[in-house]
Amino acid sequence: LQRMLSIAVEVDRSPNCSSCKIADVIFPFILNIPLRSQREAFLNTMESHLLRCKLLELLFQHSCDVPTTLPLSLAKILYFLSHSSVLLQYQDGTATWQRWDEILQYLSLLLMSYQNVILAFPLAEHLRSSLNDRMDLIIQKAKPKLQDSDNISHLDIQLKIEDFISRMQQVLGQPFPWQIMEKLCMLR
């Protein structure tokens, strides 16, 4: 399934457009996956970083009280950090801190996938372009174009993390489980 989804994204003239269409179709099914381990297995084994970004973006947009119109960028990921609520409502036997832990896990996955789409590897850095155009961009050694909303400062990151911690303190009290602190450090 993951290979087929990856191919479906790649064969289109506009991988960005096809990943949006595929994500829109798959998203309701992800909402109905009952266990976190099953959702994580599906998202972690996804071969297309671009499709994973789109699915996680939809998931976070769904969990925000006030969705944003920012394009997918580092600023949008920070927006999700400070505006996302507990992602899925049907997790009734799950401790509250584990729900917050899942948010941080998916934010880290979104950040890593986004970096793979935009910055990371020579063959992956043009994932928003078609295969034909991608080869030309690689031969020309063209650098991917960053968006204005990808320019964030260390202060922006620090403020959003502090905001997230204060929201969690209101819900969980103190001290936080070590898993949460570990994920926050990794995300930072």
In whole angstroms, how far apart are CA 40 and each of 37, 82, 164? 5, 22, 22
Which of 67, 66, 49, 47 lies closest to 58, judged by CA?
Answer: 67
Question: How many angstroms separate the CA atoms of 111 and 105, rounded?
Answer: 10
Contacts of 150 (CB under 8 A, 6+ apart): 73, 74, 75, 118
Contacts of 10 (CB under 8 A, 6+ apart): 48, 131
**What per-residue confidence (pLDDT) applies to 59?**
93
**What per-residue confidence (pLDDT) applies to 185?**
86
**What per-residue confidence (pLDDT) applies to 24?**
94
**pLDDT tens for the chain, residues 1 to 188:** 788 887 777 776 777 788 888 899 999 999 888 888 999 999 999 988 889 999 999 999 998 888 888 888 889 999 998 888 766 655 556 677 888 888 899 999 999 998 888 764 444 444 555 555 555 655 555 555 666 777 888 898 899 888 888 888 887 776 778 888 888 888 88
The one-letter amino acid code at 169 reads Q
**What per-residue confidence (pLDDT) applies to 121?**
42
Q: Is the pTM of this model over 0.85?
A: no
What angle separates helix 154-172 from helix 74-83, to the nearest 10 degrees? 20
Question: How many angstroms separate the CA atoms of 45 and 36, rounded?
Answer: 14
Question: Would you give the DSSP letter of residue 176?
Answer: P
**What per-residue confidence (pLDDT) applies to 122?**
43
Q: Structural domain boundaries of the chain?
A: 1-187
